[in-house]
Structure 1
Amino acid sequence: MTTKDTKIVEVWRQATIPVVFKREKSPLLIKLPFAKDNFDWLRNSSRNKPEWSAQYKSWQVPAAWFEDSVKRLLGRFKKVYVIQLYREYQVCAPACWNAHGLHCECSCMGANHGTGQPAGKWYEVSETFAAQWGPKKYACRLMVSTV
């Protein structure tokens, strides 16, 4: 197990900050600090219902709930960890900088996502950049509400 993997396990095991685990082609796993209303709060009057996963000690919700769930968690808890796949050799580009949603798969792990233009010297080749991709790996980022 690498240092990065150990960090992800530590984040998953902690119980004070919510965690959204975005798996590939699977429902999201959402771990919340205990509250009696977690089921109703997660459901948010949606037709679909969150399911409790005893194996992961977390809620399973549709992957399509990612953006809404992260925004609502930030509103309620002010912080949320997001664990998701990324490609190690992916290059950050204007397509990321000018993005509007929260979904980010590039190597910046969302640090430059939607910023318009990150600090530092960047050589812009094009709106997107083709590269040979490394293997997919899980990474973790802490998102903090600024509101």
Structure 2
Amino acid sequence: MVDGDYDHNAKRLKAIWDQDRIPVVLRRGGKGQSLRARLPFESENREWLRNRRRTRPVWIGGENQKYWELPKAWFNDFVNRALKKYGMVYIIQPYREQEICARACMEAEGHECQCSCMGANHGSGFHGSWFEVSETFAVRSREPELACRLMVSKRA
């Protein structure tokens, strides 16, 4: 990702996280990391999040941060219930973009490229960061980044 794209994405994610009209859940990828969630303010948010479970959500409220921490196992339930109650929910989660190319492209000479990489890997040489499925198909995953999607309920 180009630095300008990264800055734009970070600003967009921060704006989504900071808004207070649509619920947001941040599913982090690290082992043992809790979910983080933000909801439009209601006095019953703690009870709604808990949903008669034994474990209680933890409120993290500081000057610059205000969110709930929830067990990872609550993710699907949180999304389903937020869709039912609010009609939509933002999900911020890590993802790895996958590149697809071929050894023939990476070892090519000249400038003509007809590969799906659109020339990004053309003539770059084949090295160990790629998983070669066959002579005509190789993949590699980039470092994890955060992506956001808005889920909207199908109800009328």
Q: Fold match, TM over 0.5?
A: yes
Task: Please list every run of at least 4 consecutive aligned residues from structure 1 whose deviation after the TM superposition is greater than 2 angstroms.
Answer: none
Structure 2 residue 141 is matched with structure 1 residue 133: yes
Equivalences for 1:29-68 in 2 at 5 Å?
29-55=36-62, 56-68=65-77
Shift of 1:89: 1.4
When Rg is computed on C-alpha atoms for both structures, the one with the higher figure is: 2
Alignment partner for residue 75 of structure 1, among 71, 74, 84? Answer: 84
Equivalences for 1:1-147 in 2 at 5 Å?
2-25=7-30, 26-55=33-62, 56-89=65-98, 131-147=139-155
Structure 1, 53-62 or 75-84: larger mean CA deviation: 53-62
Query: Aligned-residue CA RMSD in angstroms?
Result: 2.0
Which SS does the other structure have where 2:139 is aligned? coil
Q: Which residue identity is paired with 2:97? A: E
Who is 2:111 aligned against? Answer: none
Structure 1 CA distance for aligned equivalents of residues 69 and 26 of structure 2: 10
Structure 2: which 5+ residue stretches go unaligned?
Answer: 1-5, 101-132
TM-score, structure 2 length as denominator? 0.67
Seen in structure 2, the aligned counterparts of structure 1 residues 89 and 45 have a Cα distance that, compared at 3 Å, is same
Q: Among the aligned pairs, what percent are the same residue? A: 41
More strand by share: 2
Q: Which residue identity is paired with 1:38? A: N
Structure 1: which 5+ residue stretches go unaligned?
Answer: 92-124
TM-score, structure 1 length as denominator? 0.70
Shift of 1:131: 2.6
